[in-house]
Each structure stands twice: as C-alpha cells, then as structure tokens.
C-alpha cells in the first residue's frame, strides 16, 4: 500500500500547513505540560528538602516529657527503611576559664542532620564552611557570641557538667535552628554519646529528646500510621507542612504551579482544536475523492485514526525532545538561584500528565472534527457541497468542554479551581458573543472615515463569525496571560510585603519588666528601633466552659497548643497585621475578655462568649472570648494565640517582655555588648531563617516566571492557529481586491485596521475578564486582598491592537509579493 | 473465471438502468426539483454523452448514476446492482471494483506522485501488483518519463492524462466523465479526448460523459439532452461531424 501509506506519513503531513499547526500545537502542549510537571515535581522536591532542612529531617518526633522514646519505635523505623537520627536538647551552665554561662545544648548523633547542612567556622576570621555532620565525641561547637562572652578561643576546653570538651569549631548556622523558645541561651552543639558522661541530666531535668526521620513520603506515612496509636500527649510528630512559617509559602507556590499547569493545558487544547478543525475542513476534498475511488467510511475512519495516532507519537516524542532540555535548563537555573547543586530528579510520574494531555488533545479536541470526515459526501468531487454548519460542531464543543473540565480537574485536583476557572471562561465567552454581536452591528452603521476604514469595517462584518471566534480566542488567551501576570505580581508583592528587607530578624526575649525602658533606650541610642514590646506570661489553657479542655474538645483533633504552655499577652490595640473576624476589640478601659487566634478558635470550636480558663503557675484566670482574629504567622513578629486587655487579671501574673527588631549583619557585634549589659535577656537570631525564606521566594519566583514564559508561548501558537484558519479566505479576498484595482496601500491599511480593531476589543474584554478571575482567585485561593490593576487596563488593549495589526500586515505578505493572477491560481 | 463473468457479464442486460429518477433538494423555504422522472437504459460498451446548459441537472444526474449520491425517488441499477438500495459503504465497494471517474478539475491528490495517484485505486480495490499496472498505464498515456512528478509539476493536460490512467487502472466496467476537457485549451482538450476515446474502445468500457463540448459529445455513440431536470433523447442518431 505504498501510495496509501504515503498518504498517512507524518513526514508528508508536515508539508501541509494545517498539520504543521496541529503538530506544533501538540508538541508545545506536551512540552509545556511535561516541563511544568517535571519542574513542578523537581521544585516540590527541592522546596520540601529545603524546608525539610528546617527540621534537619523529613519528620521529627519530639518527646517533651524528658524521657527517651522506646527503642522499639526507632527499630521499627529502621526496619521500614527510614533513616533515623537523634538529638537531645537541654539547657545547662557551661564553664570556661574566665566564667560561666547558661547555654542551650543540642547533642546530636552521627546521622544529624538527615536533611540540610551545618555552617561552621574554624576560627573567628576563617571563612564559613558547610559540613554535613555535627561534632564528634569529645568535641563541642559553640556560638561565636559565647566565645566572646567567656573569652575563649578555638582549641580551649569547655566544661559541660563534669565533662571537658574541646572547642573545635564555631557554630554559625544549624539547619533546624528555627523558632524554639527553649533555645534562649547561646547554642552549643556536642555529640549525643557524651551526654551521659556530663551527668547534667537528672530525673526531672527539663530535657527534650528529639528523633529525626527521613525517607519516602509513603514510608513516613506508613510509619506514622503504625506509631500514632502509641504516642502520648507529650509526644509531638512534626512534618514540614506543620511548620507554620513555611507551609503557606509552599502551599501558595504549589497552587500557582497547578494553576499555571491548568492554563497551559487549556491553551494547548484550544490550539489543537482550532488547528485540527481547520485540517479536517481542508481534507474534505481528499476524503470525497477517496470515497469516489471506493474507500468506505470505515476505511476513511481507519486512515485518519492511524494518522492521528502517528501525530500522537510524533507530538509526544517531539514534546519530550523539547521538554527535557528545557527542564534541564530550568534545573540549572534553580541551582544557580540556590547557589548549590540541585540533583536532577526526573520523575517518571510527571510524564503521565504529558501523555494524558497528548491523548486527550488528540481524542477530545482533534478527533471529533476529523471523525466527521467519514460522512463527507462523495458527491463533493462533482460539486461543492454546503460546508459544515456550526450546528454540526456543537457536539465537538460539548466533548471539548467535558474534556477540558476533566483535564483541569486532573491537574489542579481541586474543584474550586476548575469551577471558577471554567466558570470564568464560560462567562467570558457569553459576554464575548454578546459584545461581538453588538460591536459588529454598531460598527456596521458607522459611516464616514476613509476607504481603508470602511473596508476594515466591512471586513469585520463579512467575517463576523470568524471575527468573533478570533476575538474570543484572543480575549481568552489575553485573559489567561493577564491572569497569570497579575497573580504572579500579587503573589510576589504579597511575599515581599511579608518580608521586606528590614523585616525583624532578631527577637529579644525574657526582658524583665523593670528593664524594658532601658533595653528600649539601649537600641534607640544605636539606631535600631524595636518593634512593639509585648508582655508575655506562660500559661496553659486548661478549661473550656468549666470543663477540662481535653474533654471539651474532640479527641480526633491533636492540638499542639493544648499540649504546651502558651504565651499569653495583653495589648491595648490590635496589631497592624492582625484582622478581626468576629467580635469586637477591647474598648478602652475594658479589662475583661480574651481575643483568640482564628485557626485555633476553629479547631477548638470556640464561639464568642465561651469561657476559657488558663492555669498560670498556681493561679487560674477565666475570661470569656470577646473576639477572634487572624494572625500573620510568617510576619517574623511576636504573635500570640491569646491576647487580653490591659488591666486584666493577667497583668498581675509574673511575666517578661518580648520584642523583635531588625539588625544589619554588620551590626551584629552590638549583640555582644547588649548581652554583657543585660545577661538575662535572651537574643534569638533568626536572620538566617529570613534569608532562607527569601531564598525560597526567589526560587519560586523563578519557577513562576519560567512557567509563565512557556504558557505565553502556548498562547502564541493558539493565536497563530486561529488566524491561519481564515488565512486562505483573506488572501483570496486580497488577491481579488488587487485584481479589481485596489491599491496595495489601501489593502494594507484596511487589513491592519481590521486587525487592530479586533485586537483592541479582545484586549479590553481580556483584561476585564482577567480582573474578574484574579478577584475570584485572590479571594478564594490565595487569601490575599484584591485591588484593581488600573495600570494595565489601557496598555494591554493598545498593545494587543498594535500586535495584531502587525500580525495582519505580516500575513498579507503573500498577497502583496506576487501577481494577483498567480495568487488566484495558487489559491484555487 | 467466475469472478470475471461476474464483473463483465456478457448477457444482454443493460449496464445501467434508470427508472423514475427524481431528485429534490430542500432549501430553507421550499423544495427544488433538480431531476424529474428520468428513465434511461445504457447498454454494455455504449458511449453516451449527456449535454445540457449549466444548472440543467447534468452533474446531479452523473452523481446519481455513479452512486455518489442517492435519489429522492426512483432506482438506479448499475451492472445488475440496485445501487439506490445499497448503503454508502456498499456503494463505495462497488465503485472501487467497477467504476472509473474522470473529472473536470482532475482531482489528483497533490501530495502524491503521478505513479502513486494511479496506484491509489488499485490499492483501495486490493488489486495485485499495483505498481506495474500503474506504470504500464502511465506509459500508455505518454507519461512514462514523468512517473515521480507531483500534480503541481505537471501541466493541465498532463494532469488529466494521469487522471485518465487512474480511471482505467482498476479495469472498470463503466467510466463516468464530468467535463473531462472543460479545464483545457482546445488543442490539449483534443488530445486528451482522443486518449479517453481510444482507451475506452481498447478496454471495452461503457462510457457516460457529461459535457458541453459539442465536438467531444459528437464522438460518443449516443447523445442525450438534459434541460431543467428532464432528459430527452433526439429521435435521430447524431450526425458525426468529424
């Protein structure tokens, strides 16, 4: 079947314009989806491992009751193939030659850290080094501040309890040096096997045993499943996603990637659908001839199905050939941003969406119009038959809509996203149909203007169906692109606003009430202004409406806040970044009531008026809930679950003060002076955490920009596909106009004007639709605040008008460059 | 030789028998009658020209006779098969083995070479060694040197020769030609029609041709007129002018 085979060969197909568009669309679809999927899974992995390093592991199990967990638990974890490690954290006095100091000790096993790394210095002037294991037995690594406080040197001896350890390195950064209020004093790190010899851990000492686990998500899940029934209240299982500070950044990044993925799918689908319909239309003559020559409808079906399969294979292979280098490039970029090598992780599962996209694109978008070729009448060889009516394409559209719905759902995995996205698109299409109809009717009545203007209007009217379809696609493409750009900047602004360059990066804790003023003055003199100072009283929430709280709350909820002491405060005014969601803030002079953080309130099932009882030392304090407020956990400022009014019972309780402030890296030596003057005040340095968060933000931004570029490329193909659909008609008309004596300049002007009008209206509609969808997304998904983007409402339509006018001019080239005679014959 | 007998029955039954053929097209507001009660018999080996003005219904008639379309009323019996009662696919199979076509606009597939265009119906009909037969036929129409050329590289006359070679490729019992010289100049048209008539005679094919080229029509054994959907046959035999 040499001839018939040749009819189906992809290499021959490639020479046909419409097939080229279908194949390019398919390749871009597969490439976009594959790149996004691969990169998203890589990013996810990198982000999670980045975030995991905050735990120094994938999961941590903390025993706050001062007792190690049974060995069997650790054995079981190893048996399940998990990596394990151990830490013991406690506070103690250490003694140097010239004095002593309270330190916070972290004793680590050989495996520490399972994730992330440690930064050290071999002397105060030596360059910083990154190492992947802690100190060996007999060694101790200490915070540089301690070196100065105790006037020690590297190589000196430090006594921890009854054990003498050699100071081997300065400890600059530990991966899990996060927010632990237990780590108030300068940090020292030693080997876990040395702890027993120090003799400092006695029955009843305040000590935390922490166990580290790393491994596959599945193994970790399974292990937790096994472990959970045996856990006691004092045990806390912590994963990356529980960490309040980072989970939001991660979640938002994830959602954005998903959204980008869905939009790419949508654009690809539109491109494939448009181009293949065009292809099917162009094949009608061939099909009629083949039928005349005796090929049955079934034979036609088989012929084109085989062809479609070949396209699928070519599309997938071509798409992957584009995606893999692109992905590799993105990973390179990622490691540049992170300033560390990133392992390329080629997730085989990430190829599934690409294959699925190719399959669905072919069978839901390309196949329906091609399938209908079977019913092309053979009579067409003798006489032009009425072409397809748009009514015949309705089932295609239904199939396409269903497929889009399923695909986007598959990608986003979230019904809200799918419904709001597709709902927005449906609304846009409806508005478009109406506006397009109105526009065409109104423009038709417009009089005046030159010949070119009149021709442009006539052109728009004559192609009104095509014009409306093109406008719809342009507007949709613009909307998707604009939505992405707007959401991207909203996300970035959001992050930047959370972590400005002068974000607080140090906490002062344990400030005695009578030295508050002095501390404030100390920093004011040195040009570092403290944020709000908050009083802090440690207390436990023990009763809810006079019932013990653990009975009052559903057993299913494991609420960390109930297992530990809470930091209680009082404040006169609602902090700037908190928002009231229920109730009223304390009026001046009010001394009763408590304001509860919204998420905790929800988990505890609290309503306004519920009575909360706190146990503070030996005292009890009972207050009704008078308001519920949200808190910005990632603001790097002191945040509180429970806030009381000034003058409440809490003010009578013993407490200390806390504040945060920004200190430049160059001024860090001020901390030594401060610590010497106020030895009881603890300084918590979180500047490296902030740096890490900014790093993540940078990483995600890069990813978002890369994905944006891919999606815009897909959008361009859609545009090309749609415009090429009317190319032949337009060229024929142009040739006719020239034959009839129309001047080239008239043709050029009228065509450019027609396209400019199209572009302008599409731009206006696209931007408006984008605003609506951004509004929905912001409100629903990103929990951000919405504002209008006035600055883009005019530029985008103008830009799209100019671009389309140029595009129209460009596609006129063949009409202008050859004689009308030749052109007419060629187009026959 | 059963198959042969089947394909080329030597009995006296007509190759084409049309009874009460009427074709109507429904328009938006009313119904247009294109053919009105056509009755016709064409015998084996006959060559018949159907002439008429544009819009007289001759192309519609040709399409119905060849089974490309089905009539609103009446029957068409082609080589013993009642084609108006066959399904579309059955009609396609019938065409593959027994019917050849020559069109005004040649209808060659632009992507295939001359040789491949001729091979196509042979492959579709499942006839053995299609390449040899296609080569022979192209030799016969004088294009032996142009086998690998695509339609774009051939002149109009050459394209129509390829189309004629294709029409005879599957050894049809009947050939339908729709204005075969309509797109060609006089001289080329003359040589193309010579070729068509010669091959037709050599192969003993029944020929049904629609044309308004009077000289071409004159070369057919029988002449039918169609006007406003009504077919008439002049009482007297057509006097040959050439």
pLDDT at site A498: 62
Q: Are A594 and A625 in contact (CB under 8 A)?
A: yes
Mean per-residue pLDDT, B117-142: 88
Contacts of A379 in chain B (CB under 8 A): 63, 68-69
Nearest CA in chain A to B116: A3
State the Cα–Cα distance between residues A628 and A579, nearest whole angstrom: 9
Across residues A327-351, what is the average pLDDT? Answer: 73
With CA atoms as reference, report the closest residue to A231 among A223, A243, A239: A223
Size of interface A-B (CB pairs under 8 A): 91
Of B109, B117, B124, the CB nearest to A294: B124
A667 touches A528 (CB < 8 A): yes
Q: Which of residues 117-156 of B touch A (CB under 8 A)?
A: 117, 119-121, 123-125, 130-131
Give residue-wise pLDDT tens across range B102-125: 988 888 888 788 998 999 888 888
**Cα torsion B69, B70, B71, B72: sign:** negative
Rounded Cα distance between A756 and A751, Å, is 8
pLDDT at position A507, please? 83
Statement: residue B76 has pLDDT above 80: yes
Residue, of A515 and A204, whose pLDDT is higher: A515
CA torsion sign for B59, B64, B66, B69 is positive
**Averaged pLDDT for residues A606-631:** 89
Quick check: B10 pLDDT over 60? no
Task: Give residue A204's pLDDT.
Answer: 61
A12, B111: Cβ pair inside 8 Å?
yes
Query: Per-residue pLDDT tens for A122-176?
Result: 887 788 788 989 999 999 999 877 877 788 888 999 999 889 999 999 887 787 7
A41-74 burial code (b ≥16 CB/10 A, e <16): bbbbebbbbbbbbbbbbbbbbbbbebeebeeebb
Does residue B207 have a pLDDT over 90? Answer: yes
Q: What is the pLDDT of residue A779?
A: 67
Taking the Cβ of residue B97 and every Cβ of chain A, the question of whether any pair is shorter than 8 Å is answered with yes
Helix (H/G/I), strand (E/B), else coil: A90: strand
Residues A282-286: contacts with CB under 8 Å, at least 24 apart: A282/A16, A282/A18, A283/A370, A283/A373, A284/A373, A284/A376, A284/A380, A284/A387, A285/A380, A285/A381, A285/B107, A286/B109
**Of A11-25, A42-56, A90-104, which has the strongest mean pLDDT?**
A90-104
Between A712 and B217, the more confident residue is B217
Quick one: closest CA in A to B124, which residue? A295
Q: Determine the pLDDT at residue A244.
A: 45
Instruction: Give the DSSP H/E element, type plus range, for residue B137.
Output: helix B130-140
Tokens 């969601």, residue located? A581
Q: Which residue in B has a C-alpha nearest to residue A381's C-alpha?
A: B107
Contact A294 B111 (CB under 8 A): no
Contact B69/A at CB under 8 A: yes
Q: How far apart are CA A629 and CA A277, in angstroms?
A: 55
Residue A444: the pLDDT is 67
Q: Tell me the two tokens of residue A312.
A: 């699928």
Cα A148 to Cα A502: distance, rounded to the nearest angstrom: 27
Report the DSSP pairing between strands A547-548 and B81-82. Answer: unpaired
Tell me which DSSP letter residue B220 carries.
S
Q: How far is CA A555 from CA A233, A549, A550, A551, A787, in A?
A: 12, 11, 8, 8, 42
Cα B210 from Cα B187, distance rounded (Å): 19
Calculate mean pLDDT across residues A233-247. Answer: 62
Going by their DSSP bridges, the two strands A682-685 and B99-102 should be labelled as unpaired
Question: Tokens 């869905």 appear where?
Answer: A262
Q: What is the reported pLDDT for B160?
A: 92
- Where residue B7 falls among pLDDT bands split at 50, 70, 90? very low
Please compute the mean of the pLDDT values over residues B41-46 and round it to a whole number. 91
Name the minimum distance, in Å, from the CA of A14 to any CA of chain B.
Answer: 11
Closest residue to B92, CB basis, from A1, A2, A296:
A296
Longest dimension (CA), chain A: 108
Least confident of A122-136, A193-207, A543-557: A543-557
- State pLDDT tens for residues A627-673: 999 887 766 778 888 999 998 888 888 888 888 888 887 887 787 78
Tokens matching residue A14? 């490639």
Q: How many residues does chain A have?
A: 828
Query: Percent of chain A, pLDDT > 70?
Result: 75
Interval A556-611: pLDDT, tens: 555 666 666 788 899 988 888 888 888 999 988 888 999 999 888 888 888 899 99
The answer to whether B171 faces chain A, any CB pair under 8 Å, is: no
The per-residue pLDDT for A703 is: 65
Asked whether A805 and A759 are in contact (CB, 8 A), the reply is yes
- Encoding tokens for residue A319? 């798409």
Asked if residue A124 lies in contact with residue A146, where contact means CB atoms within 8 angstroms, the answer is: no
| Among B78, B66, B71, residue whose Cα is nearest residue B20 | B71
Taking the Cβ of residue B101 and every Cβ of chain A, the question of whether any pair is shorter than 8 Å is answered with yes
Q: Say if residue B236's pLDDT is above 70.
A: no
Contact A297 B89 (CB under 8 A): yes
Q: What is the pLDDT of residues A69-128, one digit of tens each?
A: 999 999 999 999 999 999 998 888 888 887 787 788 999 999 988 887 888 888 877 887
- Of the candidates A677, A651, A672, A656, the residue with the CA atom closest to the CA atom of residue A519: A677
To which H or E segment does residue A63 belong?
A: strand A59-63
According to DSSP, residue A135 is labeled P
What is the C-alpha separation between A33 and A360, in angstroms, rounded?
13
pLDDT at A190 over 90: yes
How far is Cα A653 from Cα B241, in angstroms, rounded to an integer?
128
Residues of chain A with a CB closer than 8 angstroms to some CB in chain B: 1-4, 6-7, 12, 15-16, 285-286, 289-299, 377-379, 381-383
User: What is the dihedral angle through the alpha carbons of A808, A813, A816, A819, rounded to the nearest 10 degrees?
Assistant: -140
Instruction: Write down the pLDDT at residue B20.
Output: 92
Q: Is a pLDDT exceeding 70 seen at residue A308?
A: yes
Distance from C-alpha of B181 to C-alpha of B178, rounded to nearest angstrom: 9
Interchain contact B59–A (C-beta under 8 A)? yes
Separation between Cα atoms, residue B73 and residue B71, nearest integer Å = 5
- Distance in angstroms (rounded) separating the CA atoms of residues B102 and B104: 7
Assigned token pair, A281 = 């239309």
Q: What is the SS3 assignment for A558-614?
A: CCHHHHCCEEEEECCCCCCCCEEEEECCCCCCCCCCEEEEHHHHHHHCCCCCCEEEE
Which one, of B178, B234, B167, lies nearest residue B211 by Cα? Answer: B178
Main-chain dihedrals φ then ψ at residue A100, nearest 5 degrees: -135, 165
pLDDT beyond 70 at A530: yes
Q: Average per-residue pLDDT in chain A?
A: 78
Q: Return d(Cα B191, Cα B187) in angstroms, integer.
A: 7
State residue B239's pLDDT score.
44
- Calculate mean pLDDT across residues B18-43: 89
pLDDT at A339 over 60: no
Q: How much is the average pLDDT of A223-235?
A: 85
Percent residues over pLDDT 70 in chain B: 92
This model of the complex carries an ipTM of 0.85
d(CA A424, CA A476): 10
Alpha-carbon distance B215 to B226, whole Å? Answer: 17
pLDDT at residue A693 in the model: 65
DSSP A369-402: HHHGGGG--GGGGTSPPP---GGGGHHHHHHHHH
Q: What token pair was written down for A248?
A: 């939001």
Q: Is the pLDDT of residue B11 over 60?
A: no
CB atoms within 10 A of CB A290: 26
Q: Which residues of B touch A299 (CB under 8 A)?
A: 92, 124
At residue A750 the predicted structure's pLDDT band, cuts being 50, 70 and 90, is: confident
Q: Which residue of A has its CA nearest to B69?
A: A379
Residues in A touching B124 (Cβ below 8 Å): 4, 290, 293-295, 299
Q: What is the DSSP string of A260-322?
A: HHHHHHHHHHHHHHHHHHHHHHHTHHHHHHHHHTT--HHHHHHHHHHHHHHHHHHHHHHHHHH
Question: B107: nearest CA in chain A?
Answer: A289
Residue of A292, A380, A383 to mutate when probing chain B, most B C-beta within 10 A? A292
Residue of B nearest to A825 (CA): B152
**Does pLDDT of B183 surpass 80?**
yes
Checking phi first, is residue B80 left (phi over 0); if not, alpha (psi -120 to 50) or beta? left
Of B62, B93, B109, the CB nearest to A294: B93
Sheet holding B230-232, edge to edge: B99-102, B174-178, B206-211, B47-51, B222-227, B230-232
Mean pLDDT of the region A37-50: 69
- A790: pLDDT strictly greater than 80: no
**pLDDT tens profile A668-703:** 778 778 877 886 677 777 776 677 666 666 666 666
Give how far the C-alpha of residue A497 lies from the chain's centroid of Cα atoms, to the nearest Å.
16
Check residue A682 and give its pLDDT: 73
Contact state of B112 with A291 under an 8 Å Cβ cutoff: no
Predicted local distance difference test score (pLDDT) of residue B164 = 93
- Residue B93 contacts A, CB cutoff 8 Å: yes
The DSSP secondary-structure symbol of A363 reads I
The answer to whether residue A177 scores a pLDDT higher than 70 is no
């Amino acid at each position: 079947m040499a001839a018939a085979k040749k009819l189906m060969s992809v290499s021959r197909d490639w020479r046909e314009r419409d097939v080229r568009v279908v194949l390019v669309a398919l390749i871009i679809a597969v490439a976009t989806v594959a790149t996004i999927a691969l990169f998203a899974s890589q990013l996810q992995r990198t982000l999670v491992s980045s975030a995991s390093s905050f735990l120094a592991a994938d999961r941590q199990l903390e025993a706050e009751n001062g007792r190690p967990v049974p060995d069997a638990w650790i054995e079981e974890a190893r048996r399940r193939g998990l990596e394990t490690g151990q830490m013991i954290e406690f506070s103690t006095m250490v003694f140097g030659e010239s004095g002593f100091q309270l330190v916070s000790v972290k004793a680590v096993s050989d495996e520490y850290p399972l994730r992330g790394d440690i930064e050290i210095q071999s002397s105060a002037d030596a360059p910083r080094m990154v190492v992947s294991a802690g100190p060996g037995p007999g060694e101790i690594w200490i915070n540089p501040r301690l070196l100065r406080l105790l006037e020690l040197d590297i190589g000196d001896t430090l006594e921890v309890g009854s054990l003498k350890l050699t100071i081997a390195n300065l400890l600059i950064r530990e991966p899990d040096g996060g927010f632990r209020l237990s780590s108030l004093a300068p940090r020292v790190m030693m080997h876990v096997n040395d702890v027993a010899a120090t003799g400092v851990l006695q029955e009843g000492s305040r000590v935390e045993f922490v166990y580290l686990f790393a491994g596959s998500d599945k193994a970790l899940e399974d292990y937790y499943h096994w472990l959970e029934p045996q856990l006691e209240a004092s045990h806390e299982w912590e994963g990356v996603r529980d960490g309040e500070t980072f989970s939001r950044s991660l979640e938002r990044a994830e959602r954005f990637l998903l959204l980008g993925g869905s939009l790419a799918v949508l654009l690809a689908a539109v491109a494939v659908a448009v181009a293949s319909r065009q292809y099917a239309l162009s094949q009608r003559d061939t099909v009629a001839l083949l039928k005349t020559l005796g090929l049955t409808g079934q034979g036609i079906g088989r012929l084109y199905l085989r062809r479609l399969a070949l396209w699928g294979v070519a599309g997938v292979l071509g798409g992957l050939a584009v995606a893999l280098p692109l992905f590799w490039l993105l990973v390179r970029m990622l490691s540049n941003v992170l300033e560390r090598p990133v392992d390329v992780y080629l997730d085989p599962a990430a190829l599934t969406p690409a294959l699925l996209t190719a399959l669905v694109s072919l069978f839901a978008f390309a196949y329906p119009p091609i399938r209908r070729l079977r019913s092309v009448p053979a009579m067409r060889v003798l006489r032009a038959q009425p072409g397809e009516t748009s009514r015949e394409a309705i089932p295609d559209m239904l199939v396409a809509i269903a497929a889009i719905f399923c695909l986007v759902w598959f990608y986003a995995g979230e019904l809200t996203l799918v419904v709001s996205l597709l709902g927005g698109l449906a609304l846009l299409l409806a508005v478009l149909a109406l506006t397009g109809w109105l526009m065409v009717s109104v423009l038709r009545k417009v009089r005046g203007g030159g010949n070119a203007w009149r021709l442009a209007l006539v052109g728009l009217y004559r192609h009104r169906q095509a014009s409306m379809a093109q406008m719809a696609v342009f507007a949709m493409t613009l909307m998707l692109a604009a939505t992405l750009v707007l959401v991207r900047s909203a996300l970035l602004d959001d992050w930047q606003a959370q972590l400005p360059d002068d974000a607080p990066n140090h906490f002062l804790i344990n400030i005695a009430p009578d030295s508050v003023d002095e501390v404030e003055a100390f920093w004011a003199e040195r040009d570092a202004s403290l944020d709000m100072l908050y009083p802090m009283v440690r207390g436990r929430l023990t009763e809810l409406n006079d019932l013990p709280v653990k009975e009052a709350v559903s057993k299913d909820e494991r609420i960390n806040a109930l297992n530990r002491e809470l930091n209680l405060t009082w404040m006169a005014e609602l902090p700037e970044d908190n928002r009231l969601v229920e109730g009223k803030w304390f009026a001046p002079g009010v001394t009763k009531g408590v304001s509860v953080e919204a998420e905790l309130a929800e988990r505890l099932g609290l309503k306004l008026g519920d009575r909360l009882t706190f146990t503070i030392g030996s005292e009890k304090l009972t207050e009704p809930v008078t308001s519920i407020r949200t808190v910005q956990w990632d603001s790097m400022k002191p945040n509180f679950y429970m806030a009381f009014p000034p003058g409440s019972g809490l003010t009578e309780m013993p407490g200390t003060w806390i504040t945060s402030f920004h200190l430049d890296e160059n001024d860090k030596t001020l901390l030594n002076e401060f610590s010497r003057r106020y030895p009881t005040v603890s300084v918590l340095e979180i500047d490296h955490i902030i740096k890490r968060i900014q790093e993540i933000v940078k990483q995600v931004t890069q990813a978002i920009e890369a994905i944006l570029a891919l999606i815009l490329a897909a959008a361009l193909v859609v545009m090309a596909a749609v415009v090429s659909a009317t190319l032949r008609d337009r060229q024929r008309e142009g040739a006719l106009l020239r034959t009839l004596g129309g001047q080239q300049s008239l043709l050029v002007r009228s065509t450019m004007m027609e396209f400019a009008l199209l572009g302008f209206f599409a731009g206006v509609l696209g931007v408006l639709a984008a605003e609506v969808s951004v509004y929905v997304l912001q409100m629903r998904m990103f929990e951000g605040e919405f504002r209008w983007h006035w600055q883009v409402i005019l530029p985008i339509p103008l830009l799209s008008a100019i671009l389309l006018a140029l595009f129209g001019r460009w596609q006129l080239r063949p009409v202008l460059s050859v004689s009308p005679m030749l052109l007419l014959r060629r187009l026959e | 030789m059963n198959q042969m007998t089947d394909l080329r029955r030597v009995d006296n039954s007509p190759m084409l028998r049309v009874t009460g053929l009427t074709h109507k097209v429904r328009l938006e507001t009313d119904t247009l009658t294109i053919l009105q009660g056509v009755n016709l018999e064409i015998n084996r080996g006959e060559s018949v020209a159907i002439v008429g003005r544009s819009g007289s219904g001759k192309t519609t008639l040709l399409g119905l006779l060849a089974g490309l379309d089905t009539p609103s009323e009446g029957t068409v019996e082609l080589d013993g098969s009642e084609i108006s009662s066959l399904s579309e696919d059955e009609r396609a199979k019938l065409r593959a083995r027994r019917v050849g076509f020559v069109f005004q606009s040649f209808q060659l597939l632009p992507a295939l070479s001359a040789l491949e265009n001729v091979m196509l119906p042979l492959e579709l009909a499942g006839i053995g060694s299609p390449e040899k037969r296609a080569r022979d036929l192209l030799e016969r129409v004088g294009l032996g040197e142009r086998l690998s050329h695509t339609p774009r590289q051939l002149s109009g006359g050459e394209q129509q020769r390829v189309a004629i070679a294709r029409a005879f490729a599957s050894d049809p019992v009947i050939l339908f030609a729709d204005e075969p010289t309509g797109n060609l100049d006089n001289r080329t048209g003359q040589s193309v029609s010579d070729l068509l008539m010669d091959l037709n005679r050599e192969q003993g094919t029944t020929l049904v041709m629609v044309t308004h080229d009077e000289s071409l029509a004159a070369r057919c054994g029988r002449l039918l007129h169609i006007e406003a959907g009504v077919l008439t046959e002049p009482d007297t035999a057509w006097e040959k002018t050439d």
